[in-house]
Amino acid sequence: MNPPVRLKIVQTGEPVLRQIGRRLTPEEIALPAIQELIGHMRDTMRDAPGVGLAAPQVGLPIQLAVIEDRAEYLTGIAPELLAERERQAVPFLVLINPDIVEYSEETVEFFEGCLSVAGFSALVKRSRRVSVEYLDEQGQRQRLRASGWFARILQHEIDHLNGRLYIDRMETRSFTSLDNMGRHWKDLPVESVRTALGLG
């Protein structure tokens, strides 16, 4: 068995992160190169570790992302915080040419980070529920509905495929280093953070 391949994750400022990714054909999806890329992206995401990785983040302007929120990532997070965020484990998922076809009007706001904006976090408002149509790694058309943290991850990764980063959507006054987030904001309810930052 070959050792995992770790791809380089590019950082904000790289032009590829601001491009709209090219959609893949079913014929391309079946190519060994794309199937290998999916495996390398999975290994890179797990090694980071992160809950999602989009092809532009590894320098490729194509409509491909992988997602996985592993059960082990949830250990050590207080049950009330998991409940507030509606966060549960999500099995490994491949999204090709995804489109969000339905957004809930209800939004929720939480701190969000990104492997391509390393070392920082900020409050980002997202739709609480979304429906997504996409092709899987076999090129088969799929549709899923997600809510809570899963819906947030989907919106974050699909933004990447359309040249957007969370910093485009963030509450700018909440932008913080991860060190300071851990020291000051990590365990506070969002409303308390907003009050402390003078956001009402």
CA distances to 75, 147, 151 from 176, rounded to whole Å, are 24, 26, 23
Token pair 């939004």 is found at 107
The sign one gets for the Cα dihedral 24, 26, 31, 35 is positive
**Residue 149 · residue 87 · CB < 8 Å:** yes
One-character DSSP codes across 55-108: GGGGT--BSEEEEEE-HHHHTTS-HHHHHHHT---EEEEEEEEEEEEEE-S-EE
CA distances to 27, 88, 123, 150 from 92, rounded to whole Å, are 22, 13, 26, 12
**Residue 38 · residue 64 · CB < 8 Å:** yes
Catalytic residue among 80, 102, 157, 191: 157
Q: Residue 36 catalytic?
A: no
Return d(Cα 18, Cα 168) in angstroms, integer: 11
* Catalytic machinery residues: 157
